[in-house]
């Protein structure tokens, strides 16, 4: 993995971190043994290998059965891990990764595809937010990438199945910005009901336009939430506390918060709600979920809010409904094509209807800021960076979105001569038997394996591993037809 990688770098490292490096031809199936001629000031040698990253995973081995190096060694040489963070990932995340000793490069915006392809070639870890599209084409250029961290909720920007099939684990932060989005939507409900955006613009332009016509309280109005997940249900509680009636539609039967009521279908929601707000993920089924037909079914003079994904609302249809007076106002935080970074102008080049949209009355347009608060970004930075560290250092997939969740307790320094084997493989019959035959000469202290769709993830801690055995073990596992990625840690 990947098939084009005919050679891999195997580094042999002594305890001082000095390393000798050789190219080993995988196609020739050469076996590798540690170089024994370097001089270690310590009683035993450390060495290791890291397929795909080409890094050294220091493995504690006792040269002659002597005491292990214990605390003196880290799993591998941290400064060799290359991390690229795009889209202004929060300082909390950068700090956690830098403190590990990894090389961290951070860029404020996303990158155009050609630049991303160039950059992705030699990094081991990539951090993105919602703008960076990791298509199979982009990912196919990633020769060393083992993990992607989405420092956001949505993962629709990543080809998750391609990533899994190529041994690239993907993490996100499933709810750290939910409250921020819910609060934004509350602000938008009141802003739309009172036409605050228009009044604000008018006074800025020196126009005094004191009106009460078609300005409403939100108390007693009905909020219709499409998608009652983390954000939808949080919003439900806030809206009820301000006196709104809440109904929701979701493909899953979900417990209502407070007095909210689940309705059986989208039509029932659209025909009853004064405010309709979308909180569904980007999926084929949610594309243009609100289009001409759905807008027609909404109450006359109702409002539409979309802070989910730009694909969910058919914007030209919304423009028509607004011009026709069917919709009294709308708030959009997301768009089908969004610029890569701050400063790009929201023009017809990106979205042909941009000028029409901008000219509408009582339409609030925000630049995808639903999750952009200090609190949310700080929490996301910590959560995702910690998941990345756990994965890189220990192979733990808890919280992964495209791989089964597998964990074993960390190896301690009381467990000498142990190694952790991570074997990502196709989920086909007979693999575990073959893996266990390969591991069979060692004591398997603990093991966990799980599958998600076509991909399975096995983690095993083995003990009594002698110097020289890791390379052979690695090559034996790599020979198995079903293998996607092998890593041996410690």
Ligand X SMILES: O=C(O)C(=O)COP(=O)(O)O
Ligand Y SMILES: NC(=O)C1=CN([C@@H]2O[C@H](COP(=O)(O)OP(=O)(O)OC[C@H]3O[C@@H](n4cnc5c(N)ncnc54)[C@H](O)[C@@H]3O)[C@@H](O)[C@H]2O)C=CC1
- Start-to-end C-alpha separation, the chain: 21
Helix (H, G, I), strand (E, B) or coil at 132: coil
Exposed (0-12), middle (13-18) or buried (19+): which is 284, by Cβ within 10 Å? Answer: exposed
DSSP 43-67: SS-EE--BTTTTB-B-EE--TTS--
Q: Among 154, 174, 291, 316, which residue interacts with ligand X (rule: CB under 6 A)?
A: 154
Q: How far apart are CA 274 and CA 280, in angstroms?
A: 19
| Lookup: tokens for 443 | 């004591």
Q: Tell me which of 84, 148, 153, 246 binds ligand X, using CB under 6 A.
A: 153
Using CB under 6 A as the binding rule, whether residue 230 contacts ligand X is answered as no
What span, in angstroms and rounded, lies between the C-alpha atoms of 181 and 388?
25
Active site residue 279: no
Residue from 52, 82, 124, 129 touching ligand X (CB under 6 A): that is 129
According to DSSP, residue 299 is labeled: P
Which residues of the chain form contacts with ligand Y (CB under 6 A)? 153-154, 177-178, 181, 226-232, 249-252, 279-283, 285-286, 307-309, 333-334, 368, 370-371
Q: Single out the catalytic residue among 51, 309, 442, 475.
A: 309
The item of ligand X, ligand Y, none sharing an interface with residue 129, based on CB under 5 to 8 Å by kind, is ligand X
CB of 316 to ligand Y, least distance (A): 21
Q: Does 130 bind ligand X (CB under 6 A)?
A: yes
Q: Do 176 and 151 touch, CB atoms closer than 8 A?
A: no
Cβ closest to ligand X, residue 158 vs residue 419: 158
Token pair of 46 as six digits:
């450390």
Residue 152: both structure tokens together = 């956001």
Of the residues 368, 418, 442, 475, which is catalytic? 368
Which CB atom, from 130 or from 294, has the smaller least distance to ligand X? 130
Alpha-carbon separation of residue 382 from 83, 138, 353 (angstroms): 16, 26, 38
Nearest distance in Å: CB 345, ligand X? 19
Indicate which of ligand Y, ligand X, none lies near residue 52 (CB less than 5 to 8 Å, by partner kind). Answer: none
Q: Which stretch binds ligand X (CB under 6 A): 203-211, 340-348, 370-378, 404-412?
A: 370-378
Q: Does 234 bind ligand X (CB under 6 A)?
A: no
* Residues 6 or more apart whose Cβ sits within 8 Å of residue 65: none
The yes or no reply on residue 119 touching ligand X (CB under 6 A) is: no
The tokens describing 407, both together, are: 């964990």
Q: Which of 34, 68, 93, 371 binds ligand X (CB under 6 A)?
A: 371
Q: How far is residue 293's CA from residue 282's CA, in Å, rounded to a whole number?
A: 20
408 membership: H or E segment, kind and range: none
Shorter beta-carbon distance to ligand X: residue 280 or 298: 280
Minimum separation from the CB atom of position 334 to ligand Y (A): 5
Q: 49 or 401: whose CB is closer to ligand X?
A: 401
**323 is known as an active-site residue:** no
Catalytic residue list contains 368: yes
Choosing from 177, 234, 236, 351, the residue that interacts with ligand X (CB under 6 A) is 177
Q: How far is the CB of 162 from ligand X (least distance, A)?
A: 20
β 82-85/103-106 pair status: parallel
Q: Which residues bind ligand X (CB under 6 A)?
A: 129-131, 152-154, 177, 368, 370-372
Catalytic residue positions, numbered = 309, 338, 368
């Amino acid at each position: 993995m990947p098939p084009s990688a005919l050679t891999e770098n195997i580094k042999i490292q002594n305890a001082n971190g000095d390393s000798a490096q050789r190219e080993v031809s995988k196609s020739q199936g050469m076996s590798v043994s540690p170089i024994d001629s370097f001089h270690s000031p310590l009683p035993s040698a450390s060495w290791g290998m890291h397929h795909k990253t080409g890094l050294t995973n220091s493995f504690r081995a006792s040269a002659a059965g002597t005491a292990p190096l214990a605390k003196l060694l880290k799993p591998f040489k941290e400064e060799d891990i290359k991390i690229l963070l795009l889209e202004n990932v929060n300082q909390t995340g950068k700090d956690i990764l830098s403190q590990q000793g990894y090389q961290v490069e951070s860029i404020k915006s996303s990158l155009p595809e050609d630049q991303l392809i160039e950059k992705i070639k030699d990094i081991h870890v990539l951090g993105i937010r919602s703008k960076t599209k990791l298509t199979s084409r982009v990912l196919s250029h990633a020769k060393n990438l083992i993990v992607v961290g989405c420092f956001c909720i949505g993962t629709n920007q990543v080809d998750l199945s391609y990533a899994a099939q190529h041994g690239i684990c993907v993490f996100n932060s499933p709810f750290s910005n939910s409250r921020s989005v819910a609060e934004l939507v509350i602000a938008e409900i009141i802003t739309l009901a009172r036409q605050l955006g228009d009044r604000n613009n008018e006074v800025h332009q020196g126009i005094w336009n004191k009106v009460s016509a078609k300005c409403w309280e939100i108390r007693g109005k009905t909020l219709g939430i499409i998608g009652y997940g983390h954000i939808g249900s949080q919003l439900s509680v806030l809206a009820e506390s301000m006196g709104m009636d809440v109904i929701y539609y979701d493909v899953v039967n979900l417990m209502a918060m407070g007095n909210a009521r689940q309705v059986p279908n989208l039509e029932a929601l659209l025909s009853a709600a004064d405010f309709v707000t979308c909180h569904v993920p980007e999926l084929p089924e949610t594309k243009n979920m609100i289009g001409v037909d759905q807008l027609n079914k909404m109450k006359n003079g109702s409002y539409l809010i979309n802070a989910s994904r730009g694909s969910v609302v058919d914007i030209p249809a919304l423009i028509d409904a607004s011009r026709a007076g069917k919709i009294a106002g709308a708030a959009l935080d997301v768009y089908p094509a969004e610029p890569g970074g701050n400063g790009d102008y929201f023009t017809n080049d990106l979205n042909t209807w941009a000028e029409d949209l901008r000219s509408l009355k009582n339409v609030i347009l925000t630049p995808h800021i639903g999750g952009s608060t200090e609190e949310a970004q700080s929490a996301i930075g910590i959560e995702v960076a910690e998941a990345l560290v756990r994965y890189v250092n220990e192979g733990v997939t808890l919280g992964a979105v495209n791989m089964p969740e597998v964990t074993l307790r960390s190896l301690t320094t009381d467990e000498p001569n142990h190694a952790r084997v991570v074997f990502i493989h196709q989920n086909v019959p007979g693999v575990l038997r073959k893996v266990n035959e390969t591991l069979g000469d060692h004591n398997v202290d603990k093991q966990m394996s799980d599958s998600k769709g076509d991909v399975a993830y096995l983690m095993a801690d083995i003990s009594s591993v002698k110097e020289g055995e890791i390379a052979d073990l690695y090559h034996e596992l790599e020979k198995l037809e079903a293998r996607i990625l092998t890593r041996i840690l410690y």
